[in-house]
Amino acid sequence: MTKPPKIVVTRAIAEPAMKVLHEAGEVWAPDPDRKLPPGELHEVVAGADGVVSTLQDRIDGAFADAAGANLRVVSTVAVGYDNVDLPALGAREVILTNTPGVLTDATADLTFGLLLAVTRRLGAGERLLRARRPWEFNLGFMLGTGLQGKSLGIVGLGQIGTAVARRARAFGMRIHYTGRGRAAPELEAELDARFLSMESLLGTADMVSLHCPLTPRTRHLIDAGALAAMKPGAFLVNTTRGPVVDERALADALEGGVIAGAALDVFEREPEVEPRLLELDNVALAPHLGSATVETRTEMALLAARNVASVLAGNGPLTEVRP
């Protein structure tokens, strides 16, 4: 009888996904409630045929070598994979899979929630009430900025950027976008979207929402220069990866009134947050909640588990990240 494949799960995932993995091999989840430092992670994955990991695990050549020659697939329960050294896995013929699609709506919803939170001052209002400060309704009290008729500049019109744009259209917003290339003509027509250079988008959009992946090219895409190029009174929303924004430059820009506000779900030195951002009332913050719904996290875990099961059964990956 051949030995069942060893599948290591680095962090707790939804039960239905564990069931899929148990049917696919022998599952090891030695310490699923804790982020493992690299040394411990490397010990845990030794001898694995497949690994289900998260964006908190550094997946590189040392990780693959620690797993050993049996390793065939690493399945990250995330759409972003900036924590993975893809060439290092490729060189060892290890497949990487991710979870695109299933988190699109949840992330777009959260993006829109944050956009509303910062433009309508929801956090500031809640802080006022919770501090039990005196207040009363008057016609000039805590006025925000409306979305109707404003332009939303989307950086990266991929699946999530498109889902955000659709929501923005329902709120009566105009869509500008930038990225590596033009979207399909049908999508541009559906969204009535205008393709602009990054520079023009920053100079014209009332609100800018980031949906590009983190790569060496997009690290600090929003730096002091980009912030200065934004329209005065504009808002910035980041639900992609923290390092796309230079957080210190952002704090300077917010303190100096260069832009009107920012809404952030992700942080440059996560889980740390630039302390000055915590002091500003024109910032809406969330602790990386983009895909954090029970339904979405279950779908993500299931897709990750099915990827592992499929590769280990010899049927190939369902959603492979190609170099």
Alpha-carbon separation of residue 264 from 235, 240, 253, 270, 274 (angstroms): 11, 9, 15, 11, 11
- Rounded-to-integer distance, Cα 4 and Cα 28, Å: 12
Cα distances (Å, whole numbers) of residue 171 to 133, 165, 179, 194, 295: 32, 10, 23, 17, 25
Q: How far is the CB of 299 from ligand DGY (least distance, A)?
A: 11
Asked about 176 being catalytic, the answer comes back as: no
Encoded one letter per residue, x for contact with ligand DGY by CB under 6 A and - for no contact, window 86-125 reads: -----------------x----------------------
Find the shortest distance in angstroms from Cβ 311 to ligand DGY: 20
Of residues 36-75, those binding ligand DGY (CB under 6 A): 55
Q: Which is nearer to ligand DGY, 282 or 291 (CB)?
A: 291
Interface with ligand DGY in residues 274-293 (CB under 6 A): 290-291
**β 50-53/6-9 pair status:** parallel
Contact between 317 and ligand DGY per CB under 6 A? no
Q: Kind and range of the H or E element at 200?
A: helix 198-204
Catalytic residue, candidates 92, 166, 276, 288: 288
* Helix (H) or strand (E) run with residue 152 in it: strand 151-155
Binding-site member from 25, 50, 80, 123 for ligand DGY (CB under 6 A): 80
Q: Is 22 a catalytic residue?
A: no
Neighbouring C-alpha atoms within 13 Å toward the C-beta of 209: 33
Residues 177-206 within binding reach of ligand DGY (CB under 6 A): none
> Nearest distance from residue 58's CB to ligand DGY, in Å?
15
Tokens of 144: 């925000």
**Cβ 55 to ligand DGY, closest distance in Å?**
6
Cis peptide before 100 (omega within 30 of 0): no
State in angstroms the smallest separation of the CB of 291 from ligand DGY. Answer: 3
Which 3 state secondary structure label does DSSP give 59?
strand
Active site includes 270?
A: yes
Contact (Cβ atoms closer than 8 angstroms) between residue 28 and residue 44: yes
> Quick check: 266 and 78 in contact, CB under 8 A?
no
Structure tokens at 177: 């976008």
Size of the site for ligand DGY (CB under 6 A): 7
Among 13, 14, 74, 79, binds ligand DGY (CB under 6 A): 79
Q: Minimum Å distance from CB 310 to ligand DGY? A: 20
Binding track, positions 207-246, relative to ligand DGY; x by CB under 6 A: ----------------------------------------
Residue 153 to residue 32: CA distance in whole angstroms: 39
Residue 140's Cβ-count burial label (10 Å; 0-12, 13-18, 19+) is exposed
Give the shortest CB-278-to-ligand DGY separation in angstroms.
21
- Contact region for ligand DGY (CB under 6 A) — 66-74, 76-84, 188-196, 271-279? 76-84
Which is nearest to 94 in space by CA: 70, 118, 130? 70
Given the residues 40, 190, 270, 320, select the one marked as catalytic: 270
By CB under 6 A, name the one of 14, 67, 78, 221 that touches ligand DGY: 78
* Of 77-85, 179-187, 189-197, 275-283: span binding ligand DGY (CB under 6 A): 77-85
Catalytic residues: 241, 270, 288
Chain residues binding ligand DGY by CB under 6 A are 55, 78-80, 103, 290-291
